[in-house]
C-alpha cells in the first residue's frame, strides 16, 4: 500500500482554538481522523505528525519512509528556504496544503517557498484542503505506477 506522510507545521496544534474566524473550530485530531478514514477508503497508508520545529520538519522530510508527502508548513511556507531545500533534496512528490486561502490574505502570505518544489498547492478549503490533497495523492501515485502490458 502506498505510504503518505502528513506534516502539520507550527501552531496547527492549536486548531479549533486559534483564530477561529480564519481556521474554523475543528481540531487537528478531527482532521487527522477524517484523513485516516478517507485514506482507508482510497487504499493509502497514512501517518501524520505535528511539530512547531523547523528542524523536526526537515528531519521528517529527510526520513524517506513515504511515497508522497502532504505538508501544511504553516508560517514556514513564507519563510523557510531550508524546508524548500529539504523537499528538493529528497525528490518525493509533495502536495502543499493550507486551510485558508493564502492568496486572499495579507501580502506576506502570498509567497510560498514551497510551491515551486511541490506538485501542487491546495489552499482555502478548510479541513477539506487535506481531503482534496489525499485524493490528489492517490491520483499522482496511480499515474506513476508502471503501465501494465495489455
Ligand atoms: C496556514 C496559512 C499560513 O499563512 C499560516 O501561517 C498558518 C496556517 C493555513 O493552513 O491556512 O499557520 O498554513
In a structure prediction context, what are the per-residue pLDDT tens digits for the chain, which is 150 residues long?
Answer: 999 999 999 999 999 998 888 898 999 999 999 999 999 999 999 999 999 999 999 999 999 999 999 999 999 999 999 999 999 999 899 999 999 999 999 999 999 999 999 999 999 999 999 999 999 999 999 998 765 555
Asked if residue 149 is part of any domain, the answer here is: no
Asked if residue 150 is part of any domain, the answer here is: no
pLDDT at 61: 98
Asked if residue 121 is part of any domain, the answer here is: yes
With a 6 A CB cut-off, is 121 part of the ligand 1 pocket? no
How far is residue 128's CA from residue 101's CA, in Å, rounded to a whole number?
12
How far is residue 43's CA from residue 138's CA, in Å, rounded to a whole number?
8
Q: Which residues pair with 3 in a beta bridge?
A: 45
How far is residue 66's CA from residue 46's CA, in Å, rounded to a whole number?
9
pLDDT at 41: 98
pLDDT at 145: 76
Asked if residue 80 is part of any domain, the answer here is: yes
State the CATH number of the domain containing residue 60.
3.40.50.9100
* Catalytic member of 8, 76, 98, 130: 98
Range of the domain at 31: 3-144
Asked if residue 58 is part of any domain, the answer here is: yes
With a 6 A CB cut-off, is 102 part of the ligand 1 pocket? yes
| Neighbouring C-alpha atoms within 13 Å toward the C-beta of 113 | 16
* Ligand 1 center from residue 150 Cα (angstroms): 46
* Ligand 1 center from residue 145 Cα (angstroms): 32
Asked if residue 41 is part of any domain, the answer here is: yes
103 is catalytic: no
Asked if residue 85 is part of any domain, the answer here is: yes
Total domains, the chain: 1
Per-residue cell: 59: 528531519
Asked if residue 131 is part of any domain, the answer here is: yes
With a 6 A CB cut-off, is 140 part of the ligand 1 pocket? no
pLDDT at 149: 57
8 is catalytic: no
How far is residue 27's CA from residue 24's CA, in Å, rounded to a whole number?
9
Using CA positions, which residue lies closest to atom 2 of ligand 1? 74
Amino acid at each position: 500500500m502506498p505510504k503518505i506522510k502528513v506534516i502539520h507545521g507550527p501552531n496547527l496544534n492549536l486548531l479549533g482554538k486559534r483564530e477561529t474566524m480564519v481556521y474554523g473550530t475543528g481540531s487537528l485530531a478531527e482532521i487527522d481522523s477524517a484523513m485516516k478514514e478517507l485514506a482507508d477508503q482510497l487504499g493509502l497508508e497514512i501517518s501524520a505528525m505535528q511539530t512547531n520545529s523547523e528542524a523536526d520538519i526537515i528531519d521528517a522530510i529527510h526520513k524517506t519512509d513515504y511515497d508522497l508527502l502532504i505538508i501544511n508548513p504553516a508560517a514556514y511556507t513564507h519563510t523557510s528556504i531550508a524546508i524548500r531545500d529539504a523537499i528538493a533534496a529528497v525528490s518525493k512528490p509533495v502536495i502543499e496544503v493550507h486551510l485558508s486561502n493564502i492568496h486572499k490574505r495579507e501580502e506576506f502570505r502570498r509567497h510560498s517557498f514551497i510551491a515551486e518544489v511541490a506538485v501542487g498547492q491546495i489552499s482555502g478549503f478548510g479541513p477539506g484542503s487535506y481531503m482534496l490533497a489525499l485524493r490528489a495523492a492517490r491520483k499522482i501515485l496511480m499515474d506513476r505506477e508502471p503501465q501494465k502490458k495489455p
